[in-house]
Amino acid sequence: MYALFWLIDTVLELMIWLLIIAAVFSILLAFNILDTRNRFVWTVGDFLHRATEPLLAPIRRFLPNLGGIDLSPLVLILLLQFLRIFLATTIVPALR
């Protein structure tokens, strides 16, 4: 059972890192530091979009439009951190 908790916690942590990388990537694209005509840059951006968009799209529907500022990654990171802490404080003590 502890291995299952470890797996869930690791997946949540990886998702948080993917969100951070996707946010930095989008900032670099917005300031034209990265060029999407480069095949590698496009492939990385496509992967990050496909990996994060299914979780970010429902959050974007509830958040108000703030112009060019997208707070959905921040909201999702906070929710994932809450879930990690909740699982660590409720499941791990029950396993011992």
Q: For residues 25 and 48, is the Cβ–Cβ distance under 8 A?
A: yes
Q: For residues 13 and 21, is the Cβ–Cβ distance under 8 A?
A: no
Q: pTM (2 decimals)? A: 0.91
Q: What is the pLDDT of residue 67?
A: 85
Mean pLDDT by 10 residues, the chain (96 residues): 90 98 96 94 97 96 88 97 93 73
Q: What is the pLDDT of residue 53?
A: 96
Q: What is the pLDDT of residue 96?
A: 66
Angle between helices 2-30 and 39-62 (to 10 degrees): 110
Q: What is the pLDDT of residue 31?
A: 94
Residue with tokens 């060019």: 68
